[in-house]
Amino acid sequence: MKRHLKSTLLYVLLTIAAALILYPVIYTFFMAVMSPEEASAYPPSFLPHSFHMANFTEVFEIVPIAAFIGNTFLISGLTMIGQLITASLAAYAFAKMEFKGKNFIFSMFVATMMIPWEVTIIPNYLTVRSWNWLDTYQGLTVPFLATAFGTFLLRQFFLQLPKELFEAARMDGCGHIRYFVFHVLPLSRPALGTLAVYSFLNMYNSYLWPLLITNSENMRTVQIGISMLEFQESTSWNLVFAGTALVILPSLLLLIFGLKQLVRGMAAGALKG
């Protein structure tokens, strides 16, 4: 009886916590289909009296939101691919290869995770400007192609692969490259999927760096495009929320379909140090 009561109480608490977390997202989608009067009313109403789907078409007329989404997908995709390549190669070297100073180099590499991103903004900006990469795709992607977190995550996963597999591959004439491509990568799909989802969402939600180095409208990302829906004279909050709903929908879908992979990869990578 006590066990059932404890389980019921736990589920109730989890349901309340989930409702509190999901409330801003649900409210965003409701606000996106409200009329201007309903969206600006005080106190605000939670449910719309009628669904104004024209808000979404009006957003496309005010700002080129489709171009912004396309830019963001391109930048996020390039960054994701770059991080998968660099992190997997570095992680394999740290996990399966022996060289002098490996542990020290890895410790220094992981220590960069403790440096706040804000500290590196100015050096990165000066570097990108000196290379004439302002307002370019290179400037938006190259600074993020290497990640200490991704290297750490994949290294922890690679360490779980049995040494006997590598020894058997070596007996069959496999070198490091063939073993990495044909054995390690196929077996590491959960961890690679985790890093892919994490890196894509992280870049998709980036705001400060694209705002800093982009000037032209055709290079803007969705996070900056949403702010263009606000005006000093008056702001139609239903349009702002409609744009926000369009922006968060792809990331929500990616998170929903990739959540299982994300949890599996995180749990697998944490089992062995």
pTM for this structure?
A: 0.82
Closest Cα partner for 221 from 75, 78, 70, 68? Answer: 68
pLDDT, position 231: 63
How many residues can be counted in the chain? Answer: 273
pLDDT, position 162: 85
pLDDT, position 236: 77
What is the distance between the alpha carbons of residues 58 and 238, in angstroms, rounded to a whole number?
10
pLDDT, position 91: 94
pLDDT, position 226: 83
pLDDT, position 258: 66
pLDDT, position 273: 45
Low-confidence ranges of the chain (pLDDT < 50): 232, 269-273
**In angstroms, how far is the first alpha carbon of the chain from the final one?**
40
Q: Which alpha helices (H) appear in the chain, and where do they start and end?
A: 2-32, 36-39, 54-62, 65-96, 102-111, 117-130, 137-141, 148-158, 163-171, 176-179, 185-187, 189-204, 208-213, 222-227, 237-269
pLDDT, position 160: 87
Tell me, what amino acid is at 179? Y
**The pair of three-digit structure tokens given for residue 123, joined into one six-digit string:** 């050096």
